Amino acid sequence: MKQWIPYREGEYLVVRGFLVSPDDGIEPMENAMIEIYVDAAGLRQLRGSCRVENYNVVALLEDHNTLDLILDLGEDIIYRLPAPELTAGKVFTPGVRSTMQFTPTVPWHPVSPEALDALLEKAHRPGEA
């Protein structure tokens, strides 16, 4: 991937984060953060972590092979990270949250606050009608 990250090295808090499916399923992320680091080739890279309810993530993945991430960094700085690589613990009890790591597979895309509001308005959690 070319240089697509406009931020310096460091850790950044995610104000709001969501896993979203193509049919507007959604799972909120808690305690999300991203880390920007420079790799051996001198390119900035991203990795992040959060807490999610794995049971709901699996429910979203039952109908879709991939999920996207929405990362709201505050001050109307919002990105959609298409189909990141997700790694999570094996806790699948409803209501229990565990740590999930994510890394991009393609560059992120800016999202307008209005587009995020529209997505959240029509989004539904797993098991909701």
Q: Tell whether 109 is covered by a domain.
A: yes
124 to 56, 73, 83: CA distances (angstroms): 11, 22, 19
Residue with tokens 């740590």: 99
Which pLDDT band holds residue 1 (cuts at 50, 70, 90)? low
Q: Tell whether 74 is covered by a domain.
A: yes
pLDDT confidence of residue 109: 96
11 to 31, 39, 50: CA distances (angstroms): 13, 15, 13
**For residues 10-26, average pLDDT:** 96
Q: How many domains does the chain have?
A: 1
Contact at 8 Å (CB) between 46 and 1?
Answer: no
Q: Tell whether 3 is covered by a domain.
A: no
Q: Tell whether 2 is covered by a domain.
A: no
Share of the chain above pLDDT 70, in %: 98
Reading the block at residue 12, the tokens are: 């950044």
- Residue 108, phi then psi, degrees to nearest 5: -80, 165
